[in-house]
Amino acid sequence: MTDKKTHVALLFGGDSSEHDVSKRSAHNIYDAMDKDKYDVSLFLVSKNGIILDDASSHRVFDGEDEAAVLQDVTAKLDMNNPLAPIINLDSTHNIDVFFPIIHGNLGEDGTIQGLLRLLHKPYVGSGIMASSMAYDKDITKKMLDIAGVRNTKYVLVTPANAKNWNYDKLSKKLNSSIIFIKPAKQGSSIGIHQIENQTEYEQGIRDAFQYDDKILVEEAIEGPEEVEISILGNEKPKASKLGAIKVPENDEFYTYENKFVDASEVKFTIPVKLPNGVSEEITEMALKAFTALELKGMARIDFLVSKDFKPYLGEINTLPGFTNISLYPQLWEASGISYTELIDQLIELAFEEFKKQEKVLHDFKPLNQNDQEKVYKAK
């Protein structure tokens, strides 16, 4: 037995439009962590990609202006050194596990996971490949189709083929007078537009291209109810109860403002009651998607349920929000796992996955020259 605390590093911020949301998520996780069990270090990733050290990150955590703190940090760095943006990670040898909560770019696209893999450190959440696939809605949909998980029909619009498409062609192709425009690699409803005519299409596609060069144009589901489910685990994931979201009547969908600015008009139903078999179908679809994409640790998966109660998988979030109104922890609370217990389990899952990967590397025996020659001749 040892009384040594586990040293956890919270990585938050990032260069995406979800920078401030990530800061709020990190605050909530930090406040909920059992300080008798964990020592916690903070690493804030600035909007220009510089990682602040623990002391500087705490200054921002405590309310100082981030830009002013960043100026102090960069003044001490040799910016001619290509490693300057990450140089403050040189203290990570004392850290037992990382908890990245960077939403969007850098955090959910596999970038930070690759860095932590190079540092040879355990981390919460999915690995490099799984994170990258799940972050790209186009790749995700292709994987879902292979796995047989129902999702919305779409057309991929890029700068190379954009001239071939307009509202009328897309509406006919998708058999839907209402269509949705979504950047392939973006979150928190950024760059999403509901479209019903050519003018709206031109405006929406122009805005979406600000965030990505791959744009999904999706069919609209008739009379949809937005339902969400939380997944927890590695090889044997478990699912939470389901929650439903009802947005204000004047809003066309669950917007960034609904999620993070003012949720006072949004109604959450946790758990939600659906007709016989629908909840079970959503749970099965979510677990199948989690496994097909080889996700680890956690994910919040969003569904659209049509008016005839047919569920469609909408989006997978590998590092979901942990703000005061985020559904990932709320759904687990309703399922009997407290916020603090949830963090404990996520950290345990990180160690579990790391040990498995280490065992694979340890057990791997490269072929000697004779074996290599046999393999080559066999080809």
**Distance from C-alpha of 92 to C-alpha of 290, rounded to nearest angstrom:** 30
pLDDT at 174: 97
Q: Which residues of the chain have pLDDT under 70?
A: 1-2, 187-188, 248-265, 361-379
Considering Cα of 140, then 142, then 147, then 150, what sign does the dihedral take? positive
Q: For 203-230, write each residue's pLDDT tens digit.
A: 999 999 999 999 999 999 998 899 999 9
Residue found by looking up tokens 């496994």 in the block: 291
pLDDT at 359: 75
pLDDT at 223: 84
Catalytic residue among 17, 18, 219, 335: 18
Give, as one character, the DSSP assignment of residue 4: P
Q: Is 28 annotated as a binding residue?
A: no
pLDDT at 325: 87
For the chain, give the number of residues: 379
Q: Is 317 annotated as a binding residue?
A: yes
Catalytic residue among 16, 326, 335, 353: 326
Q: Is 302 annotated as a binding residue?
A: yes
pLDDT at 83: 93
pLDDT at 263: 55
Q: Decide if 134 contacts 293 (C-beta within 8 A).
A: yes
pTM over 0.95: no
| Domains along the sequence of the chain with CATH | 6-124 (3.40.50.20), 153-219 (3.30.1490.20), 225-337 (3.30.470.20)
188 is catalytic: yes
**Distance from C-alpha of 106 to C-alpha of 347, rounded to nearest angstrom:** 20
Residue found by looking up tokens 């960077």 in the block: 102
Closest CA to 194 of 210, 209, 177: 177
**Distance from C-alpha of 202 to C-alpha of 175, rounded to nearest angstrom:** 19
18 is catalytic: yes
Q: Decide if 325 contacts 300 (C-beta within 8 A).
A: no
Catalytic residue among 188, 240, 279, 335: 188
Q: Coil, strand, or helix at residue 222?
A: coil
**How many CB atoms within 10 Å of residue 209?**
18
pLDDT at 1: 42
